[in-house]
Amino acid sequence: MNVFVNEQTLEIAPDCNIEELLEALDKPLQGTAVAVNQNILSRSLWSDYSLQEGDHISLFQAIAGG
Amino acid sequence: MMLFNEMVDNDQLVIADKTFTSRLFTGTGKFNDQQTMVDALRASQSELVTMALKRVDMQHKDDDILAPLIKNGLNLLPNTSGARNAKEAVFAAQLAREALQTNWVKLEIHPDPKYLLPDPIETLKAAETLANDGFVVLPYVHADPVLCKHLESAGCAAVMPLGAPIGSNKGLKTLEFLEIIIEQANLPVIVDAGIGSPSHAALAMEMGADAVLVNTAMAVAGNPVAMSEAFAKAVQAGRQAYLSGLAGQVNHAVASSPLTAFLEAG
């Protein structure tokens, strides 16, 4: 099935959760925030939330800044 | 009476649930490389460092900046840089809380990229929302004493008035208004932005600022590590001068040597 990650289309396995998605994308879990369809998803829910066809996932990362 | 050394040794800054020994807060931006940043932060003795948040670039892998900061025991202060209004800032703060697992936030809303001056109306709105939502809010604001009192009432944990535009290194252009803010504040005042040299930082501390936040002046210095150490000394010196009680100024001369007329003796 297809989802959108930061506006990029991505094909993933059905029942893939957020944690598995981040691992597949080789993105760190630490310092990352996730919103699904504009709703922020708490880290404690990442392994529980199964992605749905057409979900829009936004990934954010802590970076250097003043 | 407490000995002076004891007073200086016990001089800690408390903001919300955290106690700081160092009154120099630092940013993590603009350093040439990660090792220089880590070495400079260590030299600064800073215990609180700011970070930003951005959308992940799917094509590139970002440096892991977080691990070395956590390894060095630093407290993290995520900012809402990039937010143009209260709504975006609240969203950014909520994302940062998830990303960095902290409810501390440096609230900054500057819609104009040329001067990066903070929007007071949107900042106050966002501060009220975030404070009600349990955030420890440190808003970046113009040196406006009235606004700072409003932010205090809104439940902010400190205020961060600017000395000059971000990254300008121009020093305390807002000095007289910073003095009013410091005089009136019932919460910590952290002078942020524009501090371009250790003497600027020392001056802010002599005036009674509770802390200063420095980034550009360290990160783009010829030798960032040595400069960070210089800032640490300046902040300590300025704080000690403030605690010591500065001698007052007068317009006429007051002799430091006895004016005995020995040359005319006879």
Q: Stretch B82-95: mean pLDDT, rounded?
A: 96
Residue B46 pLDDT grade (very low, low, confident, very high; cuts 50, 70, 90): very high
Q: Which residue has the higher pLDDT, B130 or A50?
A: B130
How far is CA B65 from its chain centroid?
21
| Three-class HEC string of chain B | CCCHHHHHHCCCEEECCEEECCCEEECCCCCCCHHHHHHHHHHHCCCEEEEEEEECCCCCCCCCCHHHHHHCCCEEEEECCCCCCHHHHHHHHHHHHHHHCCCEEEECCCCCCCCCCCCHHHHHHHHHHHHHCCCEEEEEECCCHHHHHHHHHCCCCCEEEECCCCCCCCCCCCHHHHHHHHHHCCCCEEEECCCCCHHHHHHHHHCCCCEEEECHHHHCCCCHHHHHHHHHHHHHHHHHHHHHCCCCCCCCCCCCCCCCCHHHCC
End-to-end CA gap in chain A: 40
The pLDDT tens digits of the residues spanning B194-207 come to 999 999 999 999 99
Mean pLDDT of chain B: 93
Contact assignment for B56 to A28 by CB distance below 8 Å: no
What is the reported pLDDT for B198?
98
Judged by phi (left if over 0) then psi (alpha if -120 to 50, else beta), residue B126 lies in alpha
Residue B29 in this model has a pLDDT that exceeds 70: yes
What is the reported pLDDT for B1?
54
Residue B2 in this model has a pLDDT that exceeds 70: no
| Shortest Cα distance, chain B CAs vs residue A52, angstroms | 20
Q: For residues B30 and B219, is the Cβ–Cβ distance under 8 A? A: yes
Contact assignment for B56 to A60 by CB distance below 8 Å: yes
Report the alpha-carbon distance of residue B26 to residue B45 in Å, rounded.
Answer: 9
Contact assignment for B79 to A33 by CB distance below 8 Å: no
Q: Total domain count for chain B?
A: 1
Contact assignment for B98 to A65 by CB distance below 8 Å: no
Q: For residues B85 and B28, is the Cβ–Cβ distance under 8 A? A: no
Interface of A with B in 2-61 (CB under 8 A): 5-6, 8, 25-28, 30-35, 40-43, 58-61
The pLDDT tens digits of the residues spanning B112-128 come to 989 999 999 999 999 99
What is the reported pLDDT for B53?
93
Q: For residues B92 and B99, is the Cβ–Cβ distance under 8 A? A: no
Q: Stretch B14-24: mean pLDDT, rounded?
A: 96
Residue of chain A with shortest Cα separation from B107? A66
Residues in B touching A64 (Cβ below 8 Å): 27-31, 37, 51-52, 65
Residue B229 in this model has a pLDDT that exceeds 70: yes
Residue B22 in this model has a pLDDT that exceeds 60: yes
Q: For residues B45 and B22, is the Cβ–Cβ distance under 8 A? A: yes
Across the interface, of A42, A43, A62, the residue whose CB is closest to B53 is A62
Residue B61 pLDDT grade (very low, low, confident, very high; cuts 50, 70, 90): confident
Assess whether B106 carries a catalytic annotation.
yes
Residue B62 in this model has a pLDDT that exceeds 90: no
Contact assignment for B52 to A62 by CB distance below 8 Å: yes
What is the reported pLDDT for B266?
57
Across the interface, of B55, B58, B81, the residue whose CB is closest to A65 is B81
End-to-end CA gap in chain B: 48
Q: For residues B207 and B174, is the Cβ–Cβ distance under 8 A? A: no
Residue B65 pLDDT grade (very low, low, confident, very high; cuts 50, 70, 90): confident
What is the ipTM score, two decimals? 0.89
* CATH number of the domain encompassing residue B20: 3.20.20.70
What is the reported pLDDT for B188?
98
Interface of B with A in 106-165 (CB under 8 A): none
Q: What's chain B's length in residues? A: 266
What are the residue ranges of helices labelled H in A8-51? 18-24
Q: Phi and psi of B140, rounded to 5°?
A: -85, 120
Residue B150 in this model has a pLDDT that exceeds 70: yes
- Between A13-27, B11-25, B87-101, the lowest mean confidence (pLDDT) is in A13-27
Among the ranges A5-14, B68-77, B150-159, which has the highest mean pLDDT value?
B150-159
Going along chain A from its start, the domains and CATH numbers come out as 2-61 (3.10.20.30)
Q: Stretch B88-104: mean pLDDT, rounded?
A: 95
Query: Biggest alpha carbon distance in chain B?
Result: 91
Q: Which residue has the higher pLDDT, B89 or B249?
A: B89
Among residues B18, B61, B87, B106, which one is catalytic? B106
| Shortest Cα distance, chain A CAs vs residue B224, angstroms | 15
HSE-CB of A64 using CA atoms within 13 angstroms: 22
What is the reported pLDDT for B208?
97
Which residue, chain included where needed, has tokens 């992940």? Answer: B56
Residue of chain A with shortest Cα separation from B101? A31
Contact assignment for B98 to A43 by CB distance below 8 Å: yes
The pLDDT tens digits of the residues spanning A12-42 come to 888 899 999 998 888 888 899 999 999 999 9
Residue B265 pLDDT grade (very low, low, confident, very high; cuts 50, 70, 90): low
Q: For residues B40 and B6, is the Cβ–Cβ distance under 8 A? A: no
Contact assignment for B95 to A62 by CB distance below 8 Å: no
Percent of chain B with pLDDT over 70: 97
| Shortest Cα distance, chain A CAs vs residue B100, angstroms | 5
Report the alpha-carbon distance of residue B126 to residue B149 in Å, rounded.
Answer: 15
Look up the pTM and report it.
0.91
Residue A6 in this model has a pLDDT that exceeds 80: yes
Which residue, chain included where needed, has tokens 């252009």? Answer: B173
The CA-based dihedral angle spanning residues B65, B193, B223, B64, taken in that order and rounded to the nearest 10 degrees: 0
Residue of chain B with shortest Cα separation from A42? B98
Residues in A touching B106 (Cβ below 8 Å): none
Domain that holds residue B142: 4-264
Give the best residue of A29, A43, A63 to mutate against chain B (max B CB count within 10 A).
A63
What is the reported pLDDT for B123?
98
Q: For residues A20 and A28, is the Cβ–Cβ distance under 8 A? A: no
Contact assignment for B54 to A60 by CB distance below 8 Å: yes
